[in-house]
Chain A
Amino acid sequence: MGINLKELSKQEDFFTSGHRACAGCGPAIALRQALLVAGKDTVVSFSTGCMEVVSTIFPYTAWKVPYIHSLFENSAATMSGVEAAYNALKRKGKIKKDINLIAFGGDGGTYDIGLQALSGAMERGHNMLYICYDNQAYMNTGIQRSGATPYGASTTTSPSGKVIPGKTRRRKDLTEIMAAHNIPYAAQASISDWRDYMTKVEKARSIKGPKFIVVFAPCQLGWYYKKEDTIKIADMAVKSRFWPLYEVENGVHKITKDPKKVIPVEDWLKLQGRFRHLFKGENKKIIEEIQREVDMRWERLKKLEEAGL
């Protein structure tokens, strides 16, 4: 099924207004778009994070689907249990309809804290979709670095200054980590390309077994850019090839968007305050390093696709 906005707009939002995310929140867009595709027969589990906190402040909830939050690290494990219960009830004939099971987590709750719970759930083969919204740091607690924070970014626990030029380590490549679990579907998406993202959610929904999507969702508060630029920043990350859009279906890589006009990573870095220090003095060589790495990763991806791997 193609994504048709006019059709989608006729149904209600299952992640609705009144949540307390910042103005111009990227992750909130990611949730809304995913739920628009998933529809009302969905059960959601959430790990602790920005979106968990802002959407369920007692006695309010922004969710119109059943929602369960347990801990920071166990969104995937919680959903494993929900899946087992659902299977049992279905076997007994107490539930008839098919239900989408979606586990959400932020990058902190997925790349770092929830990684083993996620890895376990994927390996056990539960029929669920895990969506990680990636805003590249622990934003909820005040912009601490995470395994998703890119090289050179300044955060409160990797502050740029005389000692270090922002984060000194590379970010993890989570999509490849998940693809290495030999699951039927792993994909990388961005809120800027909603059609691509929603098609991936739709596709994941149609596949039985464990599925994984990581969606790029900029954070205006932690990345220090103007709040209206959230989607522009996401778009530039795709166009600069910093965040390639691709999927790995049964071990085969496929690039879903090959940007026609490629922009230098520098242009993307320039708009964000977290990289401001890179444009001063000898830090400039870090920009070259970032560009080199982006090019290398893209080459690798391209070769994998060409080789049909």
Chain B
Amino acid sequence: MAKKKEGWKELPIGAIIVEPGSSRKFKTGDWREGKKPVVDKDKCTNCLFCWISCPDSAIIVKDGEMKGFNLDYCKGCGICFTQCPVNAIEMVDEEKE
């Protein structure tokens, strides 16, 4: 990084972090080791078990409906794949669609 890091004069007192949820600027999607989750929406019943079980809040839900995965943050652990009661989620190789 070319940008100079902030010194103690620029940092907030006590190095407190003033922006809530700023970790979202740090994308963890590139941690995946070659596998990503895909959902078959024909099978999905929107039970949201995947959503409640995801350690990285990477399941997108809108109005109570499961809409897919936020691959910016998904670390590819596969918990959603094991928790889906109707086997609608599969882990596939990243290259293939």
Contacts and interface: CB of A to CB of B under 8 A. Distances in A.
B79 A24 contact: yes
A181 interface: no
A29 interface: yes
B48 A16 contact: no
A228 B15 contact: no
B78 A227 contact: yes
A192 to B, nearest CB: 9
Nearest to A31: B55
A281 interface: no
A29 B20 CA distance: 19
A60 B17 contact: yes
Contact of B77 (A6, A9, A19, A24): A24
Interface centre among B64, B73, B81 (most CB of A within 10 A): B64
B82 A23 contact: no
Nearest to A8: B52
Interface in A233-266: none
Contacts of A15: 57
Contacts of B91: 228
A229 B82 CA distance: 7
A41 to B, nearest CB: 14
Contacts of B54: 29, 32
A289 B24 CA distance: 46
A182 interface: no
Interface string A285-306: 0000000000000000000000
Contact of A5 (B32, B47, B70, B83): B47
Interface in A1-55: 5-6, 8-10, 13, 15-26, 28-29, 32-33, 36, 55
B26 to A, nearest CB: 4
B9 to A, nearest CB: 15
Interface of B: 15, 17, 19-28, 31-33, 46-49, 51-58, 61, 63-64, 70, 72-73, 75-79, 81-83, 91
